């Protein structure tokens, strides 16, 4: 089974702090994603990466950056955390661009609170 591990289940940070959210996958998947989940809004794509050192902006990249130095690890960075970034963050992986049998594999999420 694919395992997608997010380093923290809960995280509390202060406004202005630099925050790192880590995601590690064990299945050699090419594609990795960061989503943000908010009640009533569903999941929104922040950034995705289709290869090491390759990244593309999703729908809501403002205030975030990402890093993918190794294939198995994809980091989401909040350069200066703000209260409106309090949310559940979900990492996901996929083997390659959509094909008939492809699907996303999700981590269990990091609930970030910015005070």
Partner 1 sequence: AQSVTQPDIHITVSEGASLELRCNYSYGATPYLFWYVQSPGQGLQLLLKYFSGDTLVQGIKGFEAEFKRSQSSFNLRKPSVHWSDAAEYFCAVGARYGNKLVFGAGTILRVKS
- Applying CB under 8 A, the residues found at the interface with partner 1 are 4, 31, 35, 40-45, 48, 50, 56, 58-59, 90, 92, 97-98, 100, 103-104, 106-109
Provide, rounded to whole angstroms, the least separation between the CB of residue 79 and partner 1.
23
Which residue lies nearer to partner 1 by CB, 17 or 56?
56
- Vertex 52 angle, CA 11 and 101, to 5°: 85
Judge whether 23 and 35 are in contact, CB under 8 Å.
no
Provide, rounded to whole angstroms, the least separation between the CB of residue 37 and partner 1.
8
Which residue lies nearer to partner 1 by CB, 37 or 86?
37
Which residue lies nearer to partner 1 by CB, 1 or 69?
1
Judge whether 109 and 23 are in contact, CB under 8 Å.
no
Mention every residue, 6+ apart, whose C-beta is less than 8 A from residue 53: 68, 69
Provide, rounded to whole angstroms, the least separation between the CB of residue 80 and partner 1.
26
Which residue lies nearer to partner 1 by CB, 14 or 98?
98
Provide, rounded to whole angstroms, the least separation between the CB of residue 15 and partner 1.
27
Mention every residue, 6+ apart, whose C-beta is less than 8 A from residue 34: 21, 23, 45, 46, 47, 48, 58, 64, 66, 74, 76, 89, 90, 91
């Amino acid at each position: 089974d694919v395992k997608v591990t997010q380093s923290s289940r809960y995280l509390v940070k202060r406004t202005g702090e630099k925050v790192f959210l880590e995601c590690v996958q064990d299945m050699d998947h090419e594609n990795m994603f960061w989503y943000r989940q908010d009640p009533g809004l569903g999941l929104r794509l922040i950034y995705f990466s289709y290869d090491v050192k390759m990244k593309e902006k999703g729908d809501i990249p403002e205030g975030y950056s990402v890093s993918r130095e190794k294939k198995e690890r994809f980091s989401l960075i909040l350069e200066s955390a703000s209260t409106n970034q309090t949310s559940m963050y979900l990492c996901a992986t996929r083997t390659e661009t959509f094909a008939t049998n492809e699907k996303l594999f999700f981590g269990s999420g990091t609930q970030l609170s910015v005070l």
